[in-house]
Chains A and B, each alone.
Chain A
Amino acid sequence: MKPAVDSFSDNARDALKDVKLQDALERLSHGFPEKRRKAIERLPEFDDLRDAARDLKNHVLEHLDFYLERFEEKVIEAGGTVHWARDAAEAQEIIVGLCRDHNAKTVTKSKSMIGEEIAINEHLEAAGITPVETDMGEYIIQLRNEPPSHLIAPAIHLSKDQVGDTFRDNHTHLSKARPLEEPRVLLDEARDILRERFINADVGITGANMLVAETGSLVIVTNEGNADLTMTLPKVHIAVASIEKIVPTLEDASTILRVLARSATGQDMSVYTSIVTGPKRDDDLDGPGAFHVVLLDSGRAAMLGRPMREMLRCIRCAACLNHCPVYKSIGGHAYGWVYSGPMGAALVPNLLGVHNARALPHASTLCGTCEDVCPVRIPIPKLLRLLRQRDFMTESAFSVNKRAMRLWARIAARPRLYRCLHKIFAGLFGKGAGRYTHLPFLRKWTVTRDFPAPAKKSFIDDISLRKCNKK
């Protein structure tokens, strides 16, 4: 998917008018946050676990080279191969190359945000290989040719009617007249179709929630078990993950697992937590003959050693999306690429370049709820402010935005001039009570809101005058 992050304003406006999307967001707003709250109530040490998860990720980021090399050694020991991809193009080339090496016609995929980031499906298709998404949400949006609108619930923007219509349009071998109202029926239909795909796939591609350095293992969590079928049934398993997914030990992985599902869906644990190491061994009953891990950098190493490295702690739980007033108003597609909500606004400018994602750092009220709910305590508002600073510095000195801000700042730094202008403003617009329904210079405010009238005399002027009178 080509990023379209700079049309954020237009996208947001369209999203606000999309009635079905608004219904879906209403359901999300009440679902996930409530479930998370209840899960945390049951675990009094949750905040301590968040500290532990933060410290763990910080430790890894300070020693990332060490742990990555150790991970590679262990993968090789287990009989697998690690491939290093500097950017999306290298990752695509490696994955398509591996699929070709194994003469793959069909590839099953379990949900992977890195897969979305590198748009692997498009590149597989271009190489004549058919990718099949096996996560229910991903399967639906693949049929609709849409990007995910949420980290863990990619089709959250759709109603079950829309899903039914999508199935009717795509599963043309089934009777047109079949009932598709119930979620259970939709699930069963997808399951029937996917079973066959699982069995016939030549290669299975998964993401990874964590990479364990001490054992060379992948930790993969799902609620549908689709990752397990994706990685055990085909001859070849390719996992694609970004470099910051490393944890030192299995014990450390459990620290992350304890905060992950609770933050995401309010479950104590996801339904399936699988730890896989290397290809099938001689005495294993099943499993892939070949095991490849593609590690993607794509801008992440450049974040190390800088304030932005904090964003690399992110474990993709989506709690920040579920609690964000902006995300809950417009959904994920408005953000224009695969990552959305507060984490997307803070991450994407680092991956695509600030100049290519200028709208995103401003797509926030800086209310701080994201930081409040983050399981690894990422200070997202602070990072958004830093990105705004980078954007402001690169902005042309002649831009209206920059000149207006500079002018205002110059006035605010000159108290006498400031007071003078205050007096003029109060003289023109001051009423002391009531409001304006229209103000030309605040048109964006007054389109939907009245503007309470300013005072006839400012507080400081009033106080100064009273002091004079007293004397």
Chain B
Amino acid sequence: MVESKTHDTKFRVGLFVTCLVDLMRPAVGHATLKLLEDAGCDVGIPVTQTCCGQPAYNAGDAKDARTIAAQVIETFEPFEYVVTPSGSCASMLKIHYPNLFKNEIDWKSRAENLAAKTFELSSFLTDVLNQKIFHAPCSGKTTYHDGCSGLRELGIKRQPRVLLEQAGGIELVEAKEAESCCGFGGLFCVKHADVSTHIVDAKIDDIQKTGAGLLLGGDLGCLLNIAGRLHRRGIDIQVRHFAEVLSGHDQTVPAIGAEEQTKETSS
């Protein structure tokens, strides 16, 4: 279903699945793996991976963030590329790791090496592999939420849209505030839960205006937040990671927070 540009040499890609995908939504991991393998990559998944350290970093705990970052750097050093289905985790590796180690010369260059070969999934598929995806999902009217870190730190805007449009079967309707924050903000969503809720409500109002029945995004943090609030408000808009749609996993896996199709009640 995926045609890659060259198959002469297989890229050796390390999949950094992210802690949220690992724990909350393995479907995104399986979807990413499939997209990368279909693109002809030789994908390795180190089982010692945990988290990128962003919660510690954003909480001001630089020391622990460095410990975790060092572990990620070591784990993924053998790979030619590191790919992750998250703009904010990719940004952590690409932008913030070198910054964390700016005073430690040895580690700084190792962090910079990792940064240079790390890509967010849609960016890797388009900017590096120039992939075309022929799987045709049938998702109808769909809108896209740009996660803040991916958008503003890595410039990811066009890439997921290019992939979705090439895939066909999707009518992408842009929300006016697609680039506005959803209010997740890592620990912010529990530290200032009421403000966070106010922000996600504005996001949801904006999404509703598009008339889309499906919201896609590239960061599970945002998607859990938006899906959680949509369900609480009883609004029938499905939420998924874009990789699920591109890989066809949307055909077998319920949307985020949705029940299996056989049972309809929430817990």
Contact = CB atoms under 8 A, between A and B. Distances in A.
A241 B196 CA distance: 36
Contacts of A363: 192
Interface in A430-459: 431-437, 442, 444-445, 447-455, 457-459
Given A450-B266, A452-B224, A464 B148 contact: no
Contact of B56 (A372, A405, A415, A450): A405
Chain A interface size, as a band, is 35 or more
Interface stretch (B115-123, B164-172, B255-263): B255-263
Interface stretch (A59-67, A87-95, A206-214, A382-390): A382-390
Interface in B61-89: 61-62, 64-65, 67-68, 71
Given A371-B152, A413-B68, A442 B190 contact: yes
Interface string A345-366: 0000000000000000111111
B254 interface: yes
Contacts of B19: 412
A450 B232 contact: yes
Contacts, number: 209
Contacts of A454: 23-24
B22 A448 contact: no
A462 B61 CA distance: 31
Contact of B22 (A411, A450, A460): A460
B236 to A, nearest CB: 14
Nearest to A368: B152
A382 B198 CA distance: 24
Nearest to B264: A434
A164 interface: no
Nearest to A426: B23
Nearest to A457: B26
A410 B55 CA distance: 13
B60 A385 contact: yes
Given A455-B25, A458-B26, A434 B259 contact: yes
Nearest to A458: B22
A412 B60 contact: no
Interface stretch (B1-9, B134-142, B178-186): B178-186
B60 A368 contact: no
10 contacts: A365-B186, A366-B148, A393-B60, A408-B56, A412-B50, A413-B68, A413-B71, A432-B260, A450-B257, A455-B24
Q: Shortest 8 CB-CB distances between A and B: which pairs?
A: A365-B185, A388-B60, A409-B64, A392-B60, A449-B228, A367-B181, A452-B257, A459-B29
Interface of A: 9, 12-13, 16, 325-326, 328-330, 361-369, 371-372, 382, 385, 387-393, 401-402, 405-406, 408-413, 415, 418-419, 422, 425-426, 431-437, 442, 444-445, 447-455, 457-460, 462-464
